[in-house]
Amino acid sequence: MVKKKSWFMLVSLIFILSTVLAACGGKENSEAGNGNGGSGKASETKELTFMYRGGTDEQKAYTEVVKKFEEDHPGVKVKMVVTAADQYATKLKAAITGNKVPDVFYFESGDLKAYVNSGILKNLTPYLNYSEDINLDNIWKYGVDLYRYDGEMAGQGDIYGMPKDVGPFALGYNKTMFEKEGIPLPDNDVPMTWDEFIEVNKKLTKDTDGDGKVDQYGTGFNVNWALQAFVWSNGADWIDETKTKVTIDDPKFAEALQFFADMQNVHKITPSAEDAQTLDTYQRWMKGELAFFPVGPWDMSTYEGLPFEYDLMPYPAGSTGKPATWTGSLGIGVSEKTKYPEEAVALVNYLTASKEGMEMLVNAKVQIPNLIDMAEEWAADTSTKPANKQEFLDIVGDYGRVLPGHYTYNAEWYNLFFTDIQPVIDGKMTAEEYVKQQQPKMQKLLDRAIEQEQKSKKK
Amino acid sequence: MKTKSNLYRKEKLYGLLYVSPPVLGFLLFTLFPVAYSFYGSFTDWDGLGQMDFIGLSNFKDLLTDDLFHKASFNTIYMMIGIPIGIVLALLLALGLNRGIPGTTTFRVIYYVPVISSLAAISIMWSWAFNGDYGLVNQFLELFGIEGPNWLMNKHTVKPALIMMTVWKGLGYTMLLYLAALQSVPRSYYEAAELDGANGFAAFRHITWPMVKPVTFFIVVTNIIGGSQIFTEINIMTSTGGPEYSSASVVFYIWQKAFSNLQMGYASAMAVVLGIFIFIVTLIQFKMNEKSSFDI
């Protein structure tokens, strides 16, 4: 009986202990790490945590690259923590709040200022300068500059992260459809004017099976991701040079937005408003029912299996005559508090700037090469889809831009623009009215973000 | 005497030991975070750095925050699903209580959504609601109705979400009612029959009052749960729906805290939400107290 009782006692003790231990897991873990170091054995293995996100193809590719890194760096072990894309921000910020920042982790370029001001990201400049493996001149300037910050302005100064990749959002077209309709293929170098673009789209929008319903459309853009190309190429923007004023009330901006909405309401070259969002136009493109659709490098592995030929072209250009689009990126940074900065930086470099790592990732078709010489070689090979891969490189090197939210402490003001936009897209409100109504609201949020930034700098 | 107090002390010790895991868990994982976020609501904390006390400023901003008002309205609007769910579940439970063949199978079928992952269900329903090839619209087509693109239209997104939450909660509510119905003594009905009461009268005067405690429990838990709706919205309308028409309060809190670096402001909203739930629950308890005397 007594024995039985003490057994119960033990179990309950374990319960309590595990509760307590789970609660301060962070500390316990790091102390355990230290303890091992003291016993002399673990000074040989340095464990890094690497937190990242991605789909299954990317996870597979990254797991393999990290395995290779471990082989090349004996004594370093990498613990990989992966989450689904939409949970990543929450998990990372929870880890930061709980003082459990991973040694190496992905972060959004828009969060750069906040993370640097709060002492979360390590300044990589000294390490990069000493490293012989890294030639910054051979990496897209656009990508590296995204992670520079001098305490005032993002884009200049020390480097706090390396681009995991750069994601030029190019415009694709259904080559097979053009050939079938006997329409000359778009020029790779000279962008169409807006009028020319509408003309081609009208020719391609038709009822192919004669049931009285249109089932082949010119295009179907998602406003969140495609409006930028039209606004920028018309010489307008969401924010001014100083990054303190919301400039959507510029007539050039309204003109571009109106043009965007008119594609559906006046020219009828896109599926109806309700069908035009997210999945649906993507599905239509995949089925070969759309002539034009944006293509990101991350789409390449999926688009391998399209039932038609596709290729890339410049976006149609507004009044500036120059095409425009955005280039995304995700940074990989190192925690300020990491115990093994050298190894952590080595891992970052392996994933972003080494020939070995880059080759593996490019072969998995999840991104374009970060290394310029490798990228040029890659683009020169026109036998793989899409043939005009050079367009991706032109965007990164020449006409791609960062999304407006990147420059500010948070992107809330920018997101508000898209929250209320549907009536304009549906033709129930003019672009002019909309920008007038929305500008002050966005300005208020931007002011708040600027105020927050000032505060975070003082700390 | 001595041995007795020894035993007493020992038992007390064991008792304390056994209750300590949940108590400690409560302190660490509930009370402490609640207190922390309460404090955070009076600061300009961005979730990363230092917290500066700014008094009631966050709460003042909430008064004029359009998106917060929209999110609050949406959250309350979507609670329409609660009475609908209760009526449907009670009808189902009454049906199943009649001992028709296959009762167990039906019970299982209705209970499956309850134990399924909310994320998986949300993904499934976002397919069902797809405007082009979704199950819901295909079904409507049978009757010649052209369905909307449910989740992309600001007028239909909330009804769509309500439909889904009702469906999800049905099995659980039904099971509670079923248990309650089975505990109603048969003799009451026999007595009512002798007095010449018809089916509806029996339901009104016996069944409904007898299951009242269960109804009360369901209403309270559903309102608390409904105030905290998040996963469905996050998965099915990841931007908060067209014109923010499906964003709930918790969704807005989450956006503020984790995308916009305004943990202090988000905490203030969490405090307001907490107070709202507390007051609503309190009112319900008071009402239940009063009406219990009617039986």
CB contact under 8 A, B243 and A420: yes
DSSP chain B: -HHHHHHHHHHHHHHHHHHHHHHHHHIIIIIHHHHHHHHHTTB---SSS---B-TTHHHHHHHT-HHHHHHHHHHHHGGGHHHHHHHHHHHHHHHHTT--TTHHHHHHHHHHHHHS-HHHHHHHHHHHT-TTT-HHHHHHHHTT-----GGGSTTTHHHHHHHHHHHHHHHHHHHHHHHHHHTS-HHHHHHHHHTT--HHHHIIIIIHHHTHHHHHHHHHHHHHHHHT--HHHHHHSTTSSGGGSS--HHHHHHHHHHTS--HHHHHHHHHHHHHHHHHHHHHHHHHHHHHHTT-
Q: How confident is the model at residue B144 (pLDDT cuts 50, 70, 90)?
A: confident
Weakest-pLDDT range from A84-88, A216-220, B58-62 = A84-88
- What pLDDT does A10 receive? 56
**pLDDT over 80 at A28, yes or no:** no
Please name every residue paired with A108 in a beta bridge, in sequence order, or none if there are none.
Answer: A330
CB of B40 within 8 Å of a chain A CB? The answer is no
Q: Are residues B80 and B172 in the same domain?
A: yes
**B25 vs A259, B29, B115, CA distance in Å?**
58, 6, 24
Q: Are residues B157 and B253 in the same domain?
A: yes
Residues 6+ apart with CB under 8 A from B47: A93, A96, A97, B257, B258, B261, B262, B263
* Best B45, B65, B152 residue to mutate vs chain A (most A CBs within 10 Å): B152
- Chain A residue whose CA is closest to B235: A86
Weakest-pLDDT range from A101-115, A178-192, B98-112 = B98-112
CB contact under 8 A, A277 and B152: yes
- What pLDDT does A275 receive? 55
CB contact under 8 A, A274 and B154: no
| Residue A427, helix vs strand vs coil | coil
- What pLDDT does A273 receive? 57
Cα–Cα distance between A309 and A172 in angstroms, integer? 10
Q: For B56-74, what is the mean pLDDT?
A: 94
Q: Is the ipTM of this complex over 0.95?
A: no
Weakest-pLDDT range from A126-140, A434-448, B73-87, B194-208 = A126-140
Cα–Cα distance between A393 and A388 in angstroms, integer? 10
Q: How confident is the model at residue A337 (pLDDT cuts 50, 70, 90)?
A: very high
Q: For A89-96, what is the mean pLDDT?
A: 88
pLDDT in tens, A302-318: 888 899 999 999 999 99
Q: How confident is the model at residue A456 (pLDDT cuts 50, 70, 90)?
A: confident
Using alpha carbons, select from A321, A312, A290 the residue that is nearest to residue A191: A321
- What pLDDT does A311 receive? 95
Q: How confident is the model at residue A90 (pLDDT cuts 50, 70, 90)?
A: confident
pLDDT in tens, B121-143: 999 998 899 877 789 988 998 99
CB of A426 within 8 Å of a chain B CB? The answer is no
Please say whether the beta carbons of B121 and B164 come within 8 A.
yes
CB contact under 8 A, A16 and B234: no
- What pLDDT does B24 receive? 93
B-chain residues within 8 Å CB-CB of A114? 46, 48, 261
CB of B234 within 8 Å of a chain A CB? The answer is yes
Indicate whether B42 belongs to any domain. Answer: no
- What pLDDT does A99 receive? 85
Of B46, B131, B259, the CB nearest to A456: B46
**pLDDT over 80 at A379, yes or no:** yes
Q: Are residues B245 and B159 in the same domain?
A: yes
Q: For A52-77, what is the mean pLDDT?
A: 90
Host domain of residue B97: 64-290
Residues 6+ apart with CB under 8 A from A431: A253, A254, A255, A257, A258, A261, A424
* Best A274, A410, A413, A416 residue to mutate vs chain B (most B CBs within 10 Å): A274
Q: Are residues B21 and B108 in the same domain?
A: no
Q: Are residues B23 and B156 in the same domain?
A: no
**pLDDT over 50 at A424, yes or no:** yes
Residue owning tokens 């202090």: B264
Cα–Cα distance between A139 and A146 in angstroms, integer? 12
Indicate whether B183 belongs to any domain. Answer: yes
Q: Are residues B22 and B162 in the same domain?
A: no
Indicate whether B102 belongs to any domain. Answer: yes
CB contact under 8 A, B130 and A279: yes
Q: What is the pTM of this model?
A: 0.82
pLDDT in tens, B248-280: 999 999 999 988 889 999 999 999 999 999 999
CB contact under 8 A, B24 and A19: yes
CB contact under 8 A, A422 and B154: yes
CB contact under 8 A, B261 and A19: no
Indicate whether B24 belongs to any domain. Answer: yes
pLDDT-above-90 percentage for chain A? 59
CB of B262 within 8 Å of a chain A CB? The answer is yes
Q: Are residues B155 and B24 in the same domain?
A: no
Number of domains within chain B? 2
- What pLDDT does A40 receive? 40
Weakest-pLDDT range from A131-140, B40-49, B221-230 = A131-140
Indicate whether B39 belongs to any domain. Answer: no
Residues 6+ apart with CB under 8 A from A146: A109, A112, A154, A155, A163, A329, A331, A402, A406
CB of B146 within 8 Å of a chain A CB? The answer is no
Q: Are residues B128 and B10 in the same domain?
A: no
- Chain A residue whose CA is closest to B147: A274
Indicate whether B97 belongs to any domain. Answer: yes
Query: Any idea what the CATH number is for the domain that residue B83 is in?
Result: 1.10.3720.10
Indicate whether B243 belongs to any domain. Answer: yes
CB of A34 within 8 Å of a chain B CB? The answer is no
- Chain A residue whose CA is closest to B154: A422
Q: Are residues B170 and B81 in the same domain?
A: yes
- What pLDDT does B124 receive? 92
pLDDT in tens, B214-244: 999 999 999 999 999 999 999 998 888 888 9
Q: Are residues B141 and B249 in the same domain?
A: yes
B-chain residues within 8 Å CB-CB of A115? 48
Q: Are residues B24 and B160 in the same domain?
A: no
Using alpha carbons, select from A132, A174, A167 the residue that is nearest to residue A146: A167
CB of A83 within 8 Å of a chain B CB? The answer is no
Cα–Cα distance between A77 and A69 in angstroms, integer? 9
User: How many Å lie between the alpha carbon of A98 and the closest alpha carbon of chain B?
Assistant: 10
Indicate whether B206 belongs to any domain. Answer: yes
Q: How confident is the model at residue A15 (pLDDT cuts 50, 70, 90)?
A: low
Of A23, A280, A410, the CB nearest to B132: A280
**pLDDT over 60 at B196, yes or no:** yes
pLDDT in tens, A259-298: 999 999 999 999 875 555 444 688 889 989 999 999 998 8
B-chain residues within 8 Å CB-CB of A88? none
pLDDT-above-90 percentage for chain B? 58
**pLDDT over 80 at B41, yes or no:** yes
Q: Are residues B16 and B147 in the same domain?
A: no
CB contact under 8 A, B154 and A114: no
User: How many Å lie between the alpha carbon of A411 and the closest alpha carbon of chain B?
Assistant: 7
- What pLDDT does A299 receive? 85
* Best B245, B259, B265, B267 residue to mutate vs chain A (most A CBs within 10 Å): B259
**pLDDT over 60 at A34, yes or no:** no
**pLDDT over 90 at A240, yes or no:** yes
